[in-house]
Amino acid sequence: MKTGAQILLDCLKQEGVDTIFGYPGGRSLLVHDALMDDQDIQHILVRHEQGAAHAADGYARTTGKVGICLTTSGPGATNLVTGIATAYMDSVPIIALTCQVPTAEIGNDAFQEADMAGITRPITKHNYVVTDVHDLARIIHEAFYIARTRRPGPILIDLPSDVLGARIKPKPAEPAKRRGYQEKPSLNLKQIKRAASMINKAKKPLIYAGGGITLSNSADKLRALADKGQLPVTHTLMGIGIMDPQSPLSVGMLGMYGAWYANMAVGECDCLIAIGVRFDDRVTGKVATFAPNAKIIHIDIDPSSIRKVVQGGLPIVCDAAEALEHLVELVEEKDHSDWLAEIDGYREQGPLPRPKRDHLVPHEVMEAIAAIAGDQPVVASDVGLSQMWTANYLPFGGPRQYITSGGLGTMGFALPAALGAALGNPDRAVFAINGDGAFQMNCQELATCAQYNIPVKCIILNNGKLGMVRQFQKVLLDKRYASTCLGHHVDFCKVSEGFGVKALRVKDQSDLQAVLQQAMEIPGPVVVEVPIHPDTYSFPMVLPGNDATQMVFEAD
């Protein structure tokens, strides 16, 4: 006979789980008690439940496995909501285990009761309330199956405490299945052949690649297609690492804070091959003028993403890896040297800015990080200017190296996500790159890093401002800087040392490289504070509602 809590852990181990990020409470006592006797699952005690969700997210993004977070009922569970929504927007497979009041008390406004199924229904791929312990094993395995197949996403499982305490004789696990759920859509080979024909006839083809390539583990297939057809590739924020940035076919990141030459390539192409993307507003700018000369091919595993933003074109609902495998065979070898030269001309005309200043500028910081990071580092960046600087200036040679909150834009993501990534990738250097505003959202997770000696190197780009909002105020609101000055100076080195984490401070360009090298040589977690001038911004940028090729390169 086993309790529901013991059955839960058995099911998690059967699914290959080795790490849980959690925070205990009265309703989760039985699960944490069972974890004490378990030798196969490591429980990481975070300092805030939001940190648990982001840590599970970072673990999942960088390993390709399903991340797990565990909380008690009520506020413990609701504190997961931002992290679950972050994973949902970026198609990350995590399972949130929220413990709940006993089944007989559900609906009675019991102490620390919250309707987590109702609260998270819009931000989960699926969710469950387990009301019978006999259903528990089936639900756990089904949840993993749904989380990791088709378009991945978060699942929430609400676990009443009486279900966790009930004792039954467990039955052998059966293959997970759910009536009406199709693991992956059937490939329409006729559509793939039409797409190949369109590509072969194009004079100026361009691949527009997104996070779906990474999720389908098909970056190698994309590169093979690009090489065979001499097809230039631009990528989204979520698609960073899909292409080797040193490749002559790599056009870099497009969109609102991307490269002007990438947006120009989209504007001039005659065939846009969109794979694993959803035509996000931060990419398209003014939709009516996006890729105006192009026939569009849209390949995505999620039919709801196709023709949602950009109408027309050739729709192909299938797994990116499967589509690419066929396209590599069907697309002809071509000489697109004239088209590639045209794109290079845009690159020379409007490169990403690398200004020289008498103070540190972002590209210098990123170049210094790249110099000490070693092979295949994992970098989690937060949201805001630090995100754009990292995305544009830090080179990533492969997928799952760079993680960030793309769709939801969640401040406070980087540190806990890096924590999770480090536990999932113990042999790789792991960095969290934050602005000072974002760092203060979840800085308590430094205590988690200290307790478990998790070797995250946390870089704080400190400008004393909410920089991206300030940039909007500068460009759009005549420098009316409302509520974007963080005011009192925080000594981040003292804060970090208070959590038990070694901290270093960069003074200027002269000691940047040496301080970063010192941080790498210190075992365990380290915080490095880097001063950034408050009037340092991310340009070029597309103003809201404008054509993506009409970028602002600087502001007075």
Report pLDDT digits (tens) over 163-207.
999 999 998 877 787 777 888 888 999 999 999 999 999 999 999
CATH of range 2-168; options 1.20.120.530, 1.10.730.10, 3.40.50.970, 1.20.120.450: 3.40.50.970
pLDDT value at position 555? 66
Q: What is the pLDDT of residues 34-68, one digit of tens each?
A: 999 999 999 999 999 999 999 999 999 999 999 99
Band (pLDDT 50/70/90 cuts) for residue 394 is very high
554 has a pLDDT exceeding 90: no
Nearest to 525 by CA among 442, 425, 419: 419
pLDDT value at position 174? 79
CATH of range 189-349; options 3.40.50.1220, 3.30.1330.10, 3.90.1150.10, 3.30.930.10: 3.40.50.1220
Length of the chain: 556
Q: Which residues contact 499 (CB under 8 A, 6 or more apart)?
A: 443, 444, 446, 447, 449, 450
In CATH terms, is domain 362-538 a member of 1.20.120.530?
no
Mean pLDDT of 99-120: 96
pLDDT value at position 178? 77
Dig out the tokens for 171 from the structure: 């039955």
Single-letter residue type at 233: V
425 has a pLDDT exceeding 70: yes
**Are the CB atoms for 127 and 158 separated by under 8 Å?**
yes
pLDDT value at position 258? 96
Domains 2-168 and 189-349 share a fold: yes
pLDDT value at position 489? 85
Q: Radius of gyration of the chain from Cα atoms?
A: 24
Band (pLDDT 50/70/90 cuts) for residue 311 is confident
Q: Which residues contact 118 (CB under 8 A, 6 or more apart)?
A: none
> Residues 146, 62, 455, 431: is their CA dihedral positive or negative?
negative
Estimate to the nearest angstrom the gap between the alpha carbon of 299 and the chain centroid.
Answer: 20
**Are the CB atoms for 384 and 410 separated by under 8 Å?**
no
Beta bridge partners of 300: 317
pLDDT value at position 26? 95
**Are the CB atoms for 330 and 196 separated by under 8 Å?**
yes
Dig out the tokens for 44 from the structure: 């990481």
pLDDT value at position 152? 97
Mean pLDDT of 16-34: 97
Beta bridge partners of 128: 157
488 has a pLDDT exceeding 80: no
Q: Is the peptide bond before 544 cis (omega within 30 degrees of 0)?
A: no
> Residues 242, 244, 249, 254: is their CA dihedral positive or negative?
positive
556 has a pLDDT exceeding 70: no
Neighbour-count burial of 431, counting CB atoms closer than 10 A to its CB (0-12 exposed, 13-18 middle, 19+ buried):
buried
Dig out the tokens for 508 from the structure: 């200027």
> Residues 169, 173, 176, 177: is their CA dihedral positive or negative?
negative
pLDDT value at position 184? 84
CA distance 146 to 142: 6
Interstrand relation of 250-253 and 378-381 (parallel, antiparallel or unpaired): unpaired
pLDDT value at position 484? 95
What's the pTM?
Answer: 0.96
Q: The sheet that has 526-531: what strands, in order across it?
A: 402-403, 378-381, 430-435, 456-462, 526-531, 502-505
Dig out the tokens for 175 from the structure: 């293959």
Minimum mean pLDDT among 137-146, 180-189, 326-335, 396-405: which range?
180-189
pLDDT value at position 80? 98
CA distance 405 to 86: 6
pLDDT value at position 183? 83
Band (pLDDT 50/70/90 cuts) for residue 419 is very high
CA distance 40 to 54: 22
Mean pLDDT of 347-375: 93
Give me the residue spans of the domains in the chain: 2-168, 189-349, 362-538
